[in-house]
Amino acid sequence: MGTVFRKAWTAPLPPGAEIVEQRGKHIARYRIRSGKLRTAEVFTAADGRVRIRGMTKAYIAKFRDAAGYWVERPTGCSDETAARAMLAQLERRTELVRAGVLTPEEDAASKHGAESVDTNLDAWRDHLRLKGSSEHWYTQARRRVARVATDRGVKRLRDFTAATVERWLTDQTDQNMSAGTRNGYRQACVTFINWCVRAGRLTHNPLLAVAVADQRADTRRRRRALTEEELARLLDAAQRRPLADALTVRRGKAKGKPLANLSPETREDLLQTGRERALIYKTLVLTGLRKGELASITLGQIDLEGRVPYLMLHARDEKNRRGSEIPLRADLAADIRSWLADRLTRAQQAARDADEPIPAALASDQPLFDVPGGLIRIFDRDLVFAGLARVENRGGKEVLIKTDDRGRTIDIHALRHTFGTHLSKAGVPLRTAQAAMRHSDPSLTANVYTDPKLLDVAGAVASLPDLPLDGATHAATSLAGTP
């Protein structure tokens, strides 16, 4: 026969706690993180340290499970009568498992299904950490799952149903959320519930029935590739803009003029910033790396001395989680080699100035580039400086315009589209371009990451065989006159 009880607990004396005497006992008064006031009895432990102790507010149920072992389960009830009712339910479910009416898996799923969504999300995070998954990916996925649950008022895992997600997606459709974004939320929820099923927290995934939105019919952001002339303008702007912005006077009679007084050291730092930024863009264009992938590359992952220089992209940092060797074109490898040599020279000079040991080489765990977290905004300003985008005043608000006459836009990821388009333009076979892009599906390389506007379709048509009509007419006339 099971029982319910409140469990005793002890803890170190909280910092800043006030100790008072009540009815012959020493009581600590302290505030928890939420700011609420709490009290607990103070005692001296066997090791001489002052601690506090008390009893849990909610009752614990203790009973024998289906295998005959004593187990304890929190009831969540502060009332003893309610706790005993919960104990009766637990014992009833145990009897059903023992009788074979419920399987142990169904029993476990029933228990986890009653837990909060947040509790299961925390367990999912622990699983992903053990697996070695990206913290950034988990953070985004959790935010999406939590938003769906919060908006629909879902608290328990078992209530996270297909109807819940479908209703939320319908609401977002009415609020003009794009199909691609809605699919991202759906996929995060499906992935989370899939894990719950594998972990025995649910018996099946009801979200598999939730329809996928048609992204082809609702494309909000269509990217375009940059031409060679536009790339040259972008790289030039990236190098010049940091110094040009710093030299520009922002107020007074000289407003807008490049007359700011800068020290030689500041000028040099700004020139180096511009050089690095241009090299970041060039690397993205000539490797097809994504921004986050490039940011993960350290000096220990680059080989510039082999016959074919390359970057090593770890599986944990790659979108498809495979890991790749990214070949570097000779001129890009030379630019990076020169950049690293200058970095080492500056590091050695800084060590001399600080009277510290002079490094013989840069540390292998240093990032290859300092990719700013706000690179997207920096890129937009570089586009404006290069004349590839413009800022308009609309209703007293400045709006960035960077779309072409076909509604296509330029952003950081457009540099990857540029990489794929120029591979196709150069006549690289589709299978080779697919490998360079690290795509699993060649149609993605051909249809999404190839901008047909930059392809020489007219030249391709001109290369077809000559078909003179004069010869065909003469031949037809001769045949007609033959008896």
Q: How far apart are CA 191 and CA 226, in angstroms?
A: 35
Give SS3 for 231: helix
pLDDT of the chain along its 483 residues, tens only? 789 999 898 999 998 889 998 888 899 999 888 788 988 999 998 888 999 998 888 999 898 887 788 888 888 889 999 989 988 887 887 777 677 666 666 666 667 778 889 999 999 998 888 887 777 788 899 999 999 999 999 998 989 999 999 999 999 998 888 888 999 999 999 999 999 989 888 888 999 989 998 877 666 678 889 999 999 999 999 999 999 999 998 888 888 888 889 999 999 999 999 999 999 999 999 999 999 999 999 999 999 988 899 999 998 888 777 889 999 999 999 999 999 999 999 999 999 999 999 999 999 999 999 999 899 999 999 999 999 999 888 888 888 888 887 788 899 999 999 999 999 888 888 888 888 888 888 887 887 777 777 777 666 667 677 777 875 555 555 555 555
Q: Name every residue whose Cβ is closer than 8 Å to that of residue 428 and which is 6 or more positions away in sequence.
A: 436
Q: How far apart are CA 456 and CA 43, in angstroms?
A: 84
**Residues 3-32: b if buried by 16+ CB within 10 A, e if exposed:** ebeeeeeeeebeeebeeeeeeeeebbebee
Distances from the Cα of 294 to the Cαs of 290, 325, 476, in angstroms? 6, 13, 64
CATH number of this structure's domain 117-209: 1.10.150
Q: How far apart are CA 296 and CA 298, in angstroms?
A: 6
Identical fold for domains 117-209 and 227-423, yes or no, is: no
CB 212 within 8 A of CB 183: yes
Q: How far apart are CA 133 and CA 191, in angstroms?
A: 13
Q: Global pTM? A: 0.66
Q: Name every residue whose Cβ is closer than 8 Å to that of residue 91 and which is 6 or more positions away in sequence.
A: 2, 63
Q: What is the distance between the terminal CA atoms of the chain, rounded to a whole angstrom? A: 114
Choose among 224, 222, 217, 258: nearest CA to 240: 258
Q: How far apart are CA 42 and CA 58, in angstroms?
A: 21
Residue owning tokens 């047909």: 452
Choose among 2, 150, 147, 118: nearest CA to 68: 2
Amino acid at 336: I
Residue range 227-423 forms a domain whose CATH class is mainly alpha
Listed by start position, the domains of the chain span 1-97, 117-209, 227-423
Q: How far apart are CA 200 and CA 197, in angstroms?
A: 5
Task: Report the interhelical angle of 228-247 vs 375-385 (nearest 10°).
Answer: 100
| Three-state SS annotation for 173-195 | HHCCCCHHHHHHHHHHHHHHHHH
Amino acid at 456: D
CB 75 within 8 A of CB 83: yes
CB 438 within 8 A of CB 288: yes
Q: How far apart are CA 63 and CA 98, in angstroms?
A: 14
